[in-house]
Amino acid sequence: MSISERNELVLEYLWCIDCVIRQNYTLIQAAHMDRDDVYQSLALRLIRAVELYKPDAKSLKGYIFSQLKYELLSCKSSKARYGFCAAPYDLRGAVVSMDAMMESTVHAM
């Protein structure tokens, strides 16, 4: 499959991302995930799904939906949210602003 063919299919199936986000909006809110970050992760997964699709399995649409739903569950992991590889699953408050760090350094001296 050429890149232009892949891109056409990705554009044709972009609506699947919005559909998965709508279906799981409560989960996204409850996990305190940013919608734009989720959209970006799902868009990357859509591109990979179109590239890796093997016609002998399911329909392309079914394959894309299963891949997007799996990616959505991965989006709420600590690794995806904070970039920590060995972080606990429900890590919260691990991101600290640079201003707060500088402030604590100044007070410590």
Q: For residues 84 and 100, what is the distance between their CA atoms, to the nearest angstrom?
A: 20
Asked whether residue 108 carries a pLDDT value surpassing 80, the answer given is no
Asked if residues 20 and 64 have their Cβ atoms less than 8 Å apart, the reply is no
What CA–CA distance (Å, rounded) separates 52 from 6?
10
- The span from the CA of 48 to the CA of 39, in Å, is 14
Q: Is the pTM above the cut of 0.85?
A: no
**Spans of all domains in the chain:** 3-108
Can you give the pLDDT at residue 1? 77
pLDDT above 80 (res 10):
yes
What sign does the dihedral 63-65-66-67 (CA atoms) show? positive
pLDDT digits (tens, 9 = 90+) for 40-90: 999 999 999 999 988 876 799 999 999 999 998 887 654 455 555 555 555
Please indicate whether residue 86 or residue 104 has the higher confidence score (pLDDT). Answer: 104
Domain 3-108 CATH class label: mainly alpha
